[in-house]
């Protein structure tokens, strides 16, 4: 038996299904594929020699700071210049070609390799310079 309420509920349900189908089509079209960082400069974005040097220096520093295996491209197809690293519930964004890093939801940006990797150590909790030494 069809009542006005049942008809209305069926329309709402059909509308919701249509919206879910639409979002599924959009998400299937997006190529947001997390890809492990290869550590190879030829896989990285660089427009000029300076950016290529920044990338190579970043790779050396990433190996030296033992984070190379934790780096990934969140969306290589759309942004091959953007790397990320998760530390606990924190997300660190890197733009190696610009020698720049940023911790998600923080206002400051780290420029240059020393500042970038000081940021990594701070987020990892390895930055002991912030504490007073007790004697």
| Dihedral angle of Cα 125, 128, 131, 134, to the nearest 10 degrees | 120
Positions in the chain whose pLDDT score sits under 70: 1, 9, 12, 14-32, 126-135
pLDDT at 41: 95
pLDDT at 131: 46
pLDDT at 77: 86
pLDDT at 101: 97
Alpha-carbon span 36 to 69, nearest angstrom: 8
Residue with tokens 């491209």: 73
Give burial (CB, 10 Å; 0-12/13-18/19+) of 37.
Answer: buried
């Amino acid at each position: 038996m069809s009542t006005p309420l049942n008809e209305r509920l069926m329309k709402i349900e059909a509308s919701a299904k249509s919206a879910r189908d639409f979002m599924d089509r959009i998400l299937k079209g997006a190529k947001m594929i997390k890809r492990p960082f290869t550590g190879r400069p030829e896989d990285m974005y660089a427009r000029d020699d300076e950016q290529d040097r920044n990338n190579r220096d970043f790779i050396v520093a990433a190996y030296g700071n033992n984070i190379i295996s934790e780096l990934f491209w969140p969306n290589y197809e759309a942004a091959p210049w953007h790397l990320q690293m998760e530390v606990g519930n924190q997300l660190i964004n890197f733009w190696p070609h610009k020698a720049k890093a940023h911790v998600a939801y923080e206002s400051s940006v780290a420029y240059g390799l020393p500042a970038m990797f000081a940021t990594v150590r701070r987020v990892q909790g390895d930055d002991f310079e912030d504490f007073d030494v007790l004697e």
